[in-house]
Amino acid sequence: MKLYPMKLIAPLKDYLWGGTRLKEEYGKKTDLDIVAESWELACHKDGKSVIANGEAKGKTLEDWLAAQDKSVLGTHVAKFPYFPLLIKLIDARGNLSVQVHPDNEYAQRVEGEYGKTEMWYIVDCEPGATLIYGFKHAISKEEFEKRIADNTLLEVCNQVPVHKGDVFFIASGTLHAIGKGIIICEIQQNSNTTYRVYDYGRLGKDGKPRELHVKKAIDVTNLEPVKECPRLDAPIDIFVDTQARLLASCEYFTVYELEIDGTSHLTAGEDSFQSFTVLDGSVQLQAGDVELTFKKGETSFLPAGLGAYTLMGKARLVLSKI
């Protein structure tokens, strides 16, 4: 099959803390009353992106990839025995649970899937919005367990005010929680393993308190304050005449913010596939004889080796690769 740029249809999640902005502002069409998460790029058992255009229209991205040579993912992806990325838009109308994700070793041994390191890009937020990002100071496992039991954990959590455009790198083992009134673009390892330790006493759809995972969380949580983000040393070399900001670079992903104003020339090389999500505005993508328009809330998949392409319009987007 000839390589071509794809537009993706995202599976949607209606978790109880979600809102309606992804439907009202980001174009998500659904009968769900609320949309907490839109899995923009997803090849996971809990959600799979569907291709919206071209020869593979109607197939899941996962099924299309399974029928292709592995080169469509790129040379940097060869080290992964699975599709490495999961990209989400998250609408936190309410506070998310205080939680932690395991690293690869623990997750593979205990859960049968890979761990979860992620990054958050603050797409939008209400005035005064905050999130939890690690601890104020180091604590012991005994104190951690005691504070979970007596509901005083928030007293030692690091509450951080957020602003549009902020970036947070959440390494596996980092205690964290998205606060209410925040829209986030999350780029993460392709994993859905989460250990909750505090949930504000909320009840699930069954009328019972949602499950906590205290023992596992104690096993994997880093009880020191968060250290600095990994050094941002990935090259900005796939863009021409484009305002680009490197947001995160680690062994699992490299992420840029792009401001498109006019025509930008980009390249999807042999090293990695690319995926961008439009956060404001719209762009027209042209690659060979294929033209696609991407509006706010829409996401692409660009196979490795696609080559040169252009984006025309006025938009802010986040582009991810390996």
The residues annotated with a catalytic role in the active site are 196
DSSP codes, 132-185: EEEESS---HHHHHHHHHTT-GGGGEEEEE--TT-EEEE-TT--EEPPTTEEEE
Instruction: List the beta bridge partners of residue 6.
Output: 301
Q: Which two tokens stand for residue 39?
A: 């899995």
SS3 percent helix, strand, coil of the chain, rounded to 5, is 15, 40, 45
Query: What's the alpha-carbon Rg for the chain, to the nearest Å?
Result: 20
Q: Which two tokens stand for residue 24?
A: 């009202």
Pair type for strands 157-161 and 43-44? unpaired
Is residue 271 within 8 A of residue 299, CB to CB? The reply is: no
* Diameter of the chain measured on Cα atoms: 62
Determine contact, residues 134/221, Cβ cutoff 8 Å. Answer: no
Each as own residue / partner, the long-range contacts of residues 222-227 (CB below 8 Å, 24 or more positions apart, any chain) are 222/134, 222/171, 222/173, 222/174, 222/175, 223/135, 223/138, 223/139, 223/140, 223/141, 223/144, 224/134, 224/135, 224/138, 225/134, 225/135, 225/136, 225/137, 225/138, 225/158, 226/133, 226/134, 226/158, 226/174
Let me know how long the chain is: 322
Phi, psi at residue 189, to the nearest 5°?
A: -60, 155
Distance of CA 47 to the CA centre of its chain: 13
